[in-house]
Amino acid sequence: MKRWLPLSLILLAGIAAIVAAQWQHIATRPSAQAILSATADAQHEMTRVPSRLDRMSDADEISIGNQLAANYTNIDRHSPQTSVATQATEAYLQIVGDRVALHARRKLPWKFHYISDPHFVNAFALPGGHVFIGQGLITLMHSEDALAAILGHEVEHIDLRHCSERIQTEAHLRDLGPLGDLVGLPVEVFMAGYSKEQELEADRDGTALAVAAGYSPLGVVQLFTEFEKLEGQQAAANHPATPIDEATQLSLQTLEGYFESHPPSAQREQQLRELIQSQHWPTPPMRPLRMPALKVLPH
């Protein structure tokens, strides 16, 4: 009887995840991976510490975030000195980010950082108002509108207290006490992504911030469409047969971190298309990217 208990628990968790997905009207193609993903989300929900029960003060969150950001930015990741072009790019990100964050609920000292690494195809947020985005992710964008929505997505992880909740969860799991212990958390904790519903919530609210700032929601929809194509190519490139296939596989490996920490792109795109219709979001002409630190790839 005991040997059947673990299997029974897994099956029950899978059934519960499927029921939750149906209740939330999540439109995903049924598959083993989808069930495992939903089960992982259910496990995440069981171990999380709801921020509403023990809300961290803004002052403490800002203090922890500042120290975490300082520890990360002080790491010599690329070169001894930050180039003029990189500084200009970070200034540009700050302008776009400020436009978006202006419409956030919480008034925090928002700071937008640029990671000048073509292999860093991701973005993440730290508590208190710090947002990081990599060169590799920006090169996939067609417009400033897509950039605004992605920055908005990360702003919302902070605005909705997903980041502070992650701190509380880690403090609970690692049995950490004083705030000083929390600043030693690895930044990778915040790169790992959140539950599927939290990610979709950040998509909804982050794109709404960009729309409120005058950007078109079609920018990020276009980006998700491209992600869908890349996800398909990634699956096909798992068994390379030619040198071209091998090169494709190498380039797609840089996307694995982003795809693994976010819901399927098709689901994210569908959600936004439905919101564009239901919320009657305007779709003004998209703005070109102005990135001095890199040559944006042609599309």
SS3 108: coil
Average pLDDT of every residue of the chain: 78
Assess contact for 71 and 122: CB atoms under 8 A. Answer: no
| Residue-level pLDDT at 44 | 44
Query: How far, in Å, CA of 174 to CA of 168, rounded?
Result: 10
Query: Any idea which of 27-41, 55-69, 84-98 has the lowest mean pLDDT?
Result: 27-41
Residue of higher predicted confidence among 184 and 70:
70
Closest CA to 255 of 222, 297, 227: 227
Residue 123 has pLDDT above 50, yes or no: yes
| Residue-level pLDDT at 169 | 82
**Is 1 part of a structural domain of the chain?**
no
Give the whole-number percent of the chain exceeding pLDDT 90. 46
Domain count across the chain: 1
**Is 274 part of a structural domain of the chain?**
yes
Residue 56 has pLDDT above 80, yes or no: yes
| Residue-level pLDDT at 46 | 41
pLDDT digits (tens, 9 = 90+) for 218-261: 999 999 998 988 877 765 555 544 443 444 444 466 677 788 88
**Is 293 part of a structural domain of the chain?**
no
Closest CA to 263 of 190, 215, 202: 202
Mean pLDDT of 140-157: 97
**Is 9 part of a structural domain of the chain?**
no
**Is 60 part of a structural domain of the chain?**
yes
Query: How far, in Å, CA of 161 to CA of 143, rounded?
Result: 28
pLDDT digits (tens, 9 = 90+) for 27-41: 444 443 344 344 444
**Is 297 part of a structural domain of the chain?**
no
Query: How far, in Å, CA of 156 to CA of 175, rounded?
Result: 27
Most confident of 14-28, 136-150, 257-271: 136-150
Assess contact for 186 and 244: CB atoms under 8 A. Answer: no
Query: How far, in Å, CA of 206 to CA of 104, rounded?
Result: 9
Mean pLDDT of 21-25: 44
Query: Any idea which of 15-19, 95-99, 290-294 has the lowest mean pLDDT?
Result: 15-19
Query: How far, in Å, CA of 265 to CA of 192, rounded?
Result: 17
Residue of higher predicted confidence among 33 and 134:
134
CA–CA distances in Å: residue 98 to residues 112, 202, 213: 9, 17, 10
**Is 45 part of a structural domain of the chain?**
no
- Which of the four pLDDT bands, split at 50, 70 and 90, describes residue 289? very high
> What sections of 184-299 are H helices per DSSP?
188-191, 196-212, 218-236, 243-253, 256-260, 265-278
Angle (CA) 50 105 139, round 5°: 95
Assess contact for 224 and 274: CB atoms under 8 A. Answer: no
pTM: 0.77
Domain of 123 in residue numbering reads as 50-278
SS3 214: coil
| Residue-level pLDDT at 59 | 93
CA–CA distances in Å: residue 193 to residues 103, 187, 198: 23, 12, 9
**Is 284 part of a structural domain of the chain?**
no
| Residue-level pLDDT at 197 | 95
- Which of the four pLDDT bands, split at 50, 70 and 90, describes residue 75? low
| Residue-level pLDDT at 180 | 56
